[in-house]
Chains A and B, each alone.
Chain A
Amino acid sequence: MESFGQLIPNIALGLETALSPANLMYCVVGVVAGMLIGVLPGIGALTAISLLFPITIYLDPTAALIMLAGIHYGASYGGHVASILLNLPGTTSAAVITLDGYPMAQKGKAGVALLATTIASFLGGSFSIIGMMILAPLVAGIALDMGPAEYFSLMVLGLVAAATISTGSALKGIGMMLVGVVIGIIGIDPNTATNRFTFGVLHLSDGVSLVVLAMGLFGVAEVICNFGEKPPIAPHSHRVNFRSMLLSREEIRRSIAPISRGSTIGFLCGILPGLGGLIASYMAYAAEKRVSKTPDEFGHGAIEGIVGPEASNNSADQASFIPTMTLGIPGSANMALMLAMLMIHGITPGPTIITNHPDLFWGLIMSFWMGNLVLLLLNIPLIGVWIRILSIPRIYLMPAIIIMVCFGVFSISNDAFPVWMVLVFGLVGYGMRLLDLPASTLLLGFVLGPLLETNLKNALILARGDVFTIFSRPVTGTVLFLAVLLFLWGIWSTIKTGRAVETKSPEFCPPEDQ
């Protein structure tokens, strides 16, 4: 096969890019920032990516992508530390680790649990990286033949899936996605140069800036949300040293199968839009419990219950780059931000990215290895630091995040208008949390909305205005049919049970990290 023959030179090119001192530095900055964010409860990867987003505009696109990606998968490494030691998940997808991780810590096996999850994360991530190296060029090859109609239908499917599956209520998810699409319309229409929904405000004709929207919805709203929260009490009992981390032969033997199952589940969840790390980790936990010969041990410190979900989580985090990079269709808000960042730099993510920007694509993949290696090496020694950080009064975080947000949006046009806008979106975001409306699907709709409109218009032009030719094409028809089915299923389950998927905990202010 042609694509496999290219693999070796591609890997070499990727390594060359990833190992350049600047890119390596941004990779380390990204994964350490991600780890830190993962440890801190209440701040998700999405907030961290939003906060660092304005900085990436000034960087080289490859370095920027490597850094944002590092935050994305670094957060899941950090997330399990707080889960195991404090019974406090730092990220929503690490919540499942508390089920067996915290009981292990209570039995004095915190060190074993930390090392086992770190290794599981690394192996899960590695599995997906290899999968991506093989699969991405194949998907891109198929995607090259797709026209605007196919893109339109795939985007609809992706949006419906993300809104239906990953949020509490399918209807509210879709509603917020549509609100995002409407906000995305604001500004000059590229086809007719009409100012739409600008109401005569000159600042709005460029459209609402993604930075303003993301920082308002995730940065400002999160600060308001966390205002009254008390910092968790740092534990004194779990002293973790290297000796306490040694895994017994029995524990290694018990971990191998769960890690391989978890990696596979995570890879599949990562490719599909809307699933992602959160659902991947819960699915892996359920799978381990089902195949286990001793299901009673789960919940009381079974090592299978932490390594499987952790491998799955990190595997999904890496695999979610496949649809984003090869099709240009992000499956989650995190991925939508990566996509938007590339578009700001004038790079259109899609099947041509592998041929037009091979250094960026393969550099990113190779940086995953570097990042995972750095995480593996740094996670354990830094645990003491993380625990100390957890005991810093939360109150310092507030001005720090506000300053990051204010300067970040100020940098867009060097004036105060975006600062006022970010306040408005912050209040909107807080109101949405009060009403249990998902902000992450709004962001996804905002990023994909303009692409959706352009592809639909182009498809209609190509079909000479005949809607039925678009829908009767085999790929388009099937994909749109699937989207409708998924949508109906979502509505049906909302009506039936009230909640489509009971994955979110009832606590208020869950960090949005999908």
Chain B
Amino acid sequence: MNRSLSSPDSISGWLMIIAGGATSAYAAANYGIGTMRLVGPGAFPLGVGILLAVIGAAVLLVSVKRSIASDHEPHRIEWAGIARVGFSISAFALLIGSFGAIPAVAAVSFISIADRSRKSWARAGAATVLLSVGSILLFQQFLELRFVAIGWPF
């Protein structure tokens, strides 16, 4: 495959064209455009969407024109980081409502830090204690947010 077509700029260009096209098409199909005097709810998204698609096309054009002058290697994707952050936030979302803050904080700490080494488990434990106390003091006591420290839904 031509390298210029898989460059970050080309991908950005395609994504902008798709996003812009989808926005304007959806707006035109579902919301009234109105008149110049009384603008309907669909007019602004339609215009912004078209503009976005045009800009995307320009980004794509520029990147194809500059095919050889690719300025740097594509960035390495941090899959481990994505997985740890993704799972810890998901765990928080699932636990906070029914099991409460401390299990949620513990899940975040262990998923984000712990690996095979013993030291990392100790660190995750320390982080759990510190962050549980900190978040309960700040969010529950100071900001009076409603959540339980520890709960059991069954």
Whether A464 contacts B72 by the Cβ 8 Å rule is no
Taken residue by residue from 84 to 96, chain B's Cβ proximity to chain A (1 for < 8 Å, 0 otherwise) reads as 1110111011101
Check B81 for interface membership: any CB of A closer than 8 A: yes
* Residue from B52, B80, B96 within 8 A of A410 (CB atoms): B96
Task: Say yes or no: A435-B11 contact (C-beta < 8 A), given A178-B51, A220-B89.
Answer: yes
**Alpha-carbon distance A222/B11, docked complex (angstroms):** 21
Check A453 for interface membership: any CB of B closer than 8 A: yes
Q: Which of A459-495 contact B (CB under 8 A)?
A: 460-461, 464-467, 491, 494-495
Q: What 16 additional pairs, Cβ within 8 angstroms, besides A226-B81, A423-B85, A436-B12?
A: A55-B138, A58-B143, A169-B59, A196-B27, A196-B31, A196-B45, A224-B82, A399-B113, A399-B131, A402-B108, A405-B89, A411-B139, A414-B147, A416-B97, A426-B85, A437-B12
Check B75 for interface membership: any CB of A closer than 8 A: yes
A→B interface (CB under 8 Å): 55, 58, 169, 171-172, 174-175, 178-179, 181-182, 185, 189, 191-192, 194, 196-197, 220, 223-228, 393, 395-396, 398-400, 402-403, 405-407, 410-411, 414-416, 419-420, 422-423, 426-427, 430, 433-437, 449, 453, 456-457, 460-461, 464-467, 491, 494-495, 498-499, 506, 508
**Alpha-carbon distance A174/B105, docked complex (angstroms):** 39
**Alpha-carbon distance A513/B140, docked complex (angstroms):** 30
Whether B19 contacts A182 by the Cβ 8 Å rule is yes
Task: Say yes or no: A175-B55 contact (C-beta < 8 A), given A395-B113, A400-B131, A495-B65.
Answer: yes
Taken residue by residue from 139 to 154, chain B's Cβ proximity to chain A (1 for < 8 Å, 0 otherwise) reads as 1000111110000000
Whether B12 contacts A175 by the Cβ 8 Å rule is yes
* Residue from B35, B48, B85, B127 within 8 A of A178 (CB atoms): B48
Check B29 for interface membership: any CB of A closer than 8 A: no
Instruction: Return A434 CB to nearest CB of chain B, in Å.
Output: 5
Most buried by B among A172, A414, A415: A172
* Residue from A192, A223, A407 within 8 A of B135 (CB atoms): A407
Task: Say yes or no: A406-B41 contact (C-beta < 8 A), given A175-B59, A430-B82, A495-B62.
Answer: no
Question: Which residues of A are found within 8 Å of B120, using beta-carbon distances?
Answer: 395
